[in-house]
A and B are shown apart, each in its own frame.
Chain A
Amino acid sequence: MKMKKKKPVLRNKIRNKERVRLEGVIKQQSDKLKIKNGQLRNGAAKQIKSEWQIETATTLIKKKDLEILKQRAELLHVTRVGKLAEFVSSLAHEISQPLTAILSYAQAASRMLEGREPEIKEILQHIIDDDRRASEVIQRMRLLLKKGKPEMELLDINAIVNETVMLVATDAAVRNDALKTELKGDLPFIDGDRVQLQQVLLNLISNSFDALGRSRGKREILIRTLRKDIDTIIVEVKDSGCGIPKRNMPKLFTRFFTSKPDGLGMGLSISRSIIEAHGGRLKGRNNPDRGTTFYFTIPVGTKDA
């Protein structure tokens, strides 16, 4: 009996003990589970995060691709311009060969005549002179193509205008365009690169030629130099051409923007950067009556101011 009486107590004790142990195990397990769960959750979060990153990366790649495409297009254009320079350079070479031969033939013939046949000798001299004129044009073309740092020197802007006008005078005559200059006397020297400034003027004049070609009526280009104030000079190229449509005005100086079918869209943007490198501004506007005026300012040379 005693045993029987004791048994339930013992049983209870064992049960209690067992329960505590089991509870402990359960708690332990559930803690582990919690940790696992947390880890899982964390992992999932990480994964989600990286997915988001992948998406951003993809957009970025797409963006870059677009940029590359754009750059490639620009590059193609620049290459075309580069090809043009190459073409002009090889053209200069090809022309210089026969010019050399003509010059030498004429000089040899002139030498052979010695004192005889003065009239023929004069003709030969004309050939020699004209050959040299052509050579000078080639020389100038080579200078225009030459890249490199600007060579700054004190320059007479009127002389530069005159030299440039001389370069295009024949062109103007052939086109039947009047090319006039109105140069202010007594202008101070400016600090600049001769070739680059000629390049800007050539570009503005050739734009005017194109504008005249597209218009009917008076065909005139007027190049003026004037003094804006004590330390600024203005150079103007005014034409009576077709003018610029209003909508094109804001894009005038944008690289690769062109309204001409065979244009490169480089001229004005290069011209503007040249003028800005000289400390001046290049602008364009339509004239009240007809045609356009492009003008740039250029500071008076430091040594002269």
Chain B
Amino acid sequence: MNKRSALIYVVDDNVSICRSLALLLKAHGFKVETFTHARSFLAYKHPKLPSCLVLDISLPDINGLTLQEMMAKRGIIIPIIFITGHGDIPMSVKGIKAGAVDFLTKPFIKNKLLDAITLAISKSMSQNKEEAEVSKIKRRIKTLSPRELEVFRLVAKGMMSKNIAFKRGISLQTIKVHRGRVMKKMRARTVTELIRFAEKCGITSSKE
């Protein structure tokens, strides 16, 4: 993990906690951004970096668990480590179920925090990679003509060229040409790869 490019967000209404955690994490080579309100964190423009959010459960404006839900709805994909001054077990279960990496009860020693951060950053990196791949595929799909997109969908559904030709009343030769162009534009080496692309972007499940 390249720490220098990893960004840690700390959201806690206690200024001392923000300041001290920022110092500690910076001393360990991370970039750190601190917020005392959930809203200012949401309003922040999150750079595409491997990142992780150290989040206090009880914030004055938006509860930490609610913030977790809001982030999911807005497509802000950043792994979360919850911190709390109350050792509330049921709350932690809820948070972990909703995808939090860890749940630390204050005060925690730095090793616990650093371990959780390492885990969160690696999760973030694979999430970012996945996200980048999906947007790359989506960009390629945009270059397809309507007819090519249709052929792409049908191929992704597992139809043979023959069947497509028959179903659409077009010659097999034309379908083969379209299909060749789809493969080229999508930069798929094999049909299997093409189908994988379709699955990643949810093309298979779209309309007939």
Contact = CB atoms under 8 A, between A and B. Distances in A.
Interface of A: 89, 92-94, 96-105, 107-109, 111-112, 131-132, 135, 139, 142
A104 B86 contact: no
Nearest to B27: A111
11 contacts: A93-B85, A96-B105, A97-B85, A101-B16, A102-B20, A104-B110, A105-B20, A107-B24, A111-B24, A131-B107, A135-B107
Given A101-B17, A104-B21, A108-B24, A93 B107 contact: no
Contacts of B24: 104-105, 107-108, 111
B43 interface: no
A93 B12 CA distance: 14
Nearest to B21: A104
Interface string B46-80: 00000000000000000000000000000000000
Contacts of B20: 100-105, 108
A276 B110 CA distance: 42
Contacts of A131: 107
Contacts of B17: 97, 100-101, 104
Interface of A is mostly: helix
B206 to A, nearest CB: 49
A104 B107 CA distance: 9
Interface of B: 14, 16-17, 19-21, 23-24, 26-28, 83, 85-87, 105-110
Nearest to A95: B85
Contacts of A97: 14, 16-17, 85, 106
A132 B112 CA distance: 13
A98 B109 contact: no
Contacts of A98: 16
Given A101-B17, A111-B28, A135-B107, A96 B85 contact: yes
Contacts of A103: 20, 107-110
Given A93-B85, A93-B86, A100 B23 contact: no
Contacts of B107: 96, 99-100, 103, 131-132, 135
A104 B23 contact: yes
Given A100-B20, A100-B106, A101-B19, 10 more contacts: A89-B86, A96-B85, A96-B107, A97-B106, A100-B85, A101-B16, A103-B109, A109-B23, A131-B107, A142-B87
B86 to A, nearest CB: 5
A41 B55 CA distance: 83
Contacts of B19: 101
Contacts of B14: 97, 101
B16 A132 contact: no
Nearest 3 pairs of A and B residues by beta carbon: A104-B20, A101-B16, A108-B24
Contact of B106 (A89, A99, A111, A112): A99
A92 B23 CA distance: 25
A35 to B, nearest CB: 73
Contacts of A108: 20, 23-24, 26-27
A112 B28 CA distance: 9
Nearest to A134: B107
